[in-house]
Amino acid sequence: MGATNPTFTMPPLEEFAYGLDVTGVDPASLGDALRAAINDVLLDPARLTVWLGTLAMSEQTVAINALRRFAGESPDSVASPASGDRRFADDGWRTNPMLAALLESYLLRSRALVQMVESSRLPEATRRKARFAAQMMVDALAPSNVPWLNPAVVREAMTSGGDSLLRGMENFLEDVRSNNGRPRQVDSSSFVLGNNIAATPGRVVLRNELIELLAYEPQTPRVHSEPILCSPPWINKYYIMDLAPGRSYIEWAVTHGFTVFAISYRNPDSSMAKFTMDDYLRLGVLAALDRVQEITGSKRVNLAALCLGGTLAVLALAYLQAKGQAHRIGWVTLTNSLIDFSEPGDLGVFTDESTISRLEKRMEEHGYLEADAMAGTFDWMRANDLVWNYVVSNWYMGRKPPAFDILAWNGDSTRMPAAMHSQYLRSCYLENALVKPGAFKILGTPVDLSKIRTPLYVLGAETDHIAPWRATYRMTQLTSGEATYTLTSSGHVAGIVNPPGNPKSKYWTSGVVPKGTSAENWRASASATTGSWWEHWLKWAEHRSGALVVPPKLPNGDPAPGLYVRGETGPLSEPSRAKGPTAPRAVRSSAKPVVRTAAKPTAKAAAKPAARAAKTRRAATPRRTKR
C-alpha cells in the first residue's frame, strides 16, 4: 500500500467547538495565511518546479493504476485514506475502479497541498493557520461529498426505494428553516433542563446581576462538614458539571455525602459590556463563597472548578491569600484548567495580536461576543466532522443526528462581555500574566501564585487540545502548597464526564507531586489504574472535608436549575453591589435555548426537591434520587 494521506491532528468534535468558544476568536485570517503560503512557493521557482514535477509524476502513476484496475489488477495506491477516515470506509471506494482512481487522485492532490504549506518559509504561527485553511479546502473537495459518487449514499437510496432521499430533503428543509441552513449535529429535543439534564434536585439560594447560586438537596443522612462550591466556566452553561443522571459530577458528589453548591452564570447582554474579571470574581466566586458560608456555617469551603472556572478559582485563591483570608478555602480541584498559558494548545494559533484586535472591534457594536454568530465559521474550520459528516448522513441518507448530552450542552452557548473577554485573552493568552508575580491584578490586588498554600487536586486530560495536560501539570509547580496530579485518558470536555463503569476509562496518578518534578518525569513514575478518576478524587476529598454531620437546612428558593440557565432573569436576592453596570431586567432573553426547558416553576414545584431529598435521607443507604 502507498503512503497515507497526511493530516494534522484535530481535536474531538465537541472539544473543537467548545475550544473556539473559549477564545471566541475571529478566524478570518486563515485565508490570508493560505495565500501567503502559496505566494511563498510561487516566489521560489526552484521549489515550485520540484513541487509541480512531483505532483505530475504521481498523477501519471494514478492514471496507470486506473488502467490496471480496469484490467482486473490490484496495484498499490500512491495515496491511501488515513486510518479511521470514515468518509471512505465503504468497500465501493476500493472495489469500483472509477471510484478508486477518483479517491487516489483526490488524496494525492490533498497531500500535495499540505506539503506545499509545510514547505513555506513563513513564521510557524502563520503556517499553522495556513494548515487549517488548507484542510478546510481539502475537506470541501472530497468526492464523498458528492451524493451520486458516494457509494454508501447510492446504496441507501436504492435499498430504501428513494425514501432516504425524501427524508434527507425533509431534514434539509427543516435545517434551512430552523438551524441557519447548517446540518444539525445533535438531536437535543429529548433533553429537558431540570428533567433529564441538569436534573440533580436543588434550589436557588442567591441571585445577583451575574450569577445564581444553586444549593443541592442532601441525599445522604450525614454529610461532610465542609461544603463544595462548583466553579464552572462561563462559556456555555454550568450543567456540564450536572449532565444527565448517572453522568453528573455534581450528582456523584451529592450522593457520596457532600453538601454541594454550584454557580450558574447569567448570559451577558449589552448592560454587562464593561464587566471585567474583577466583576466575575467579586460577584461570582467571592459572592458565592460568602453565601455558602452563611448557609452552612462552615469556616471552610472547598472549590471544584472546571476550565475557565479553574482560572477564576486560582485568582480567588491568590486574592484571598493576599488579603489574609486563605483559611476560608480548604482545598481546590482544578479540572482541565489552564493557569500557565505558555502552551495554550491549538487555540494559541488564533490568539495573536491582530486576531484579538479584530475581535475587539467586532465586540464594540453590541458590547459582547455573540457565540451563535460565529458557529458557522467554526463548523467550517472542522468541516469533515462538523459539516460534511452531517450533510452526508442527514441530508443525503435521511438519517437523524444522535441524541448526545455532551453535544446538546455544547450547543447551548453563551455570550461573553466585551471588556472581560478582551482582558482574559490579552492577560492570559498574549501576556501569560497570571504566572508572573505582580504582573496581573484582580480587584486591585497583585497576583502571586507562589504564595498559595491551599492543597490542590489537579486533573489533566491525555487527549486535551484546549488545555494540554503538560500545561495543566505546571500548576503543581506554581504554588507553595501540596498538589496531587491525576491524568485521565479522555479529552477536555469529556474529562469531567467520567462516571464509574466505563471499561475504557483509565487514569494515572502518583500522589503528591514533589516540587521540581517535570511533567515527563511525573508521567514516567505515575501508575495507571483502570476506572474513573472520580473514584480516586472521592478518596482524596473525603479525608480533607471534615467530619460527617447532619446536613444543613437550606433556605427557600426557586427549584434548580434556576432561571439564568434558561435565558431568563428574575428579582435579585440582594441589592446590587456592582459599580457601573446596571442590574438585569426581569425579562426573557431573546436567545432561543438549544436545550428545551421545563415549565416555569410554581410554588408547588418549588417544594418538590426538598420533599424528594427528605425521602432520600430516610433511606437506609445512599442512592440516586428517583426522578
**Cβ–Cβ contacts within 10 Å for residue 406, how many?**
21
* 3 state DSSP class of 443: coil
- Contact indicator for 417, 367 with CB cutoff of 8 Å: yes
- Contact indicator for 448, 460 with CB cutoff of 8 Å: no
- Size (the chain), residues: 627
Q: How far apart are CA 506 and CA 588, in angstroms?
A: 43
- Contact indicator for 244, 426 with CB cutoff of 8 Å: no
Cross-strand partners of 303: 229, 332
Q: Is the peptide bond before 561 cis (omega within 30 degrees of 0)?
A: yes
Instruction: Find the helix or strand (DSSP H, E) in which 3 lies.
Output: strand 3-4
Catalytic residue among 307, 332, 478, 487: 307
Q: Please provide residue 331's backbone torsions phi and psi, each rounded to the nearest 5 degrees.
A: -150, 165
DSSP sequence for 300-358: -EEEEEETHHHHHHHHHHHHHHHTT-GGGEEEEEEES--S-TTS-GGGGGG-SHHHHHH
Q: How far apart are CA 493 and CA 601, in angstroms?
A: 30
Side-chain half-sphere CA neighbours of 441 within 13 A: 4
- Contact indicator for 570, 558 with CB cutoff of 8 Å: yes
Query: What are the distances in angstroms from CA 65 to CA 71, 78, 101, 110, 536?
Result: 10, 9, 7, 18, 56
DSSP sequence for 495-558: TS---TT-TT-EEEEEEEPPTT--HHHHHHHPEEEES-HHHHHHHHHHTTS--EEPPPPPPP-P
Q: How far apart are CA 69 and CA 76, in angstroms?
A: 10
Q: What is the CA radius of gyration of the chain?
A: 26
Cell numbers linked to 478: 506554581
Strands 548-549 and 596-597 turn out to be unpaired
Report DSSP state, residue 559: B
In 3-state terms the chain splits into helix, strand, coil percentages (rounded to 5) of 45, 15, 40
DSSP sequence for 189-208: TT-EETTTBS-S-EEEEEE-
Does residue 307 carry a catalytic annotation? yes
DSSP sequence for 216-268: EPP-SSSEESS-EEEE--SSS-GGGGS-STTS-HHHHHHTTT--EEEEEE---
- Contact indicator for 457, 486 with CB cutoff of 8 Å: yes
- Catalytic residue numbers read 307
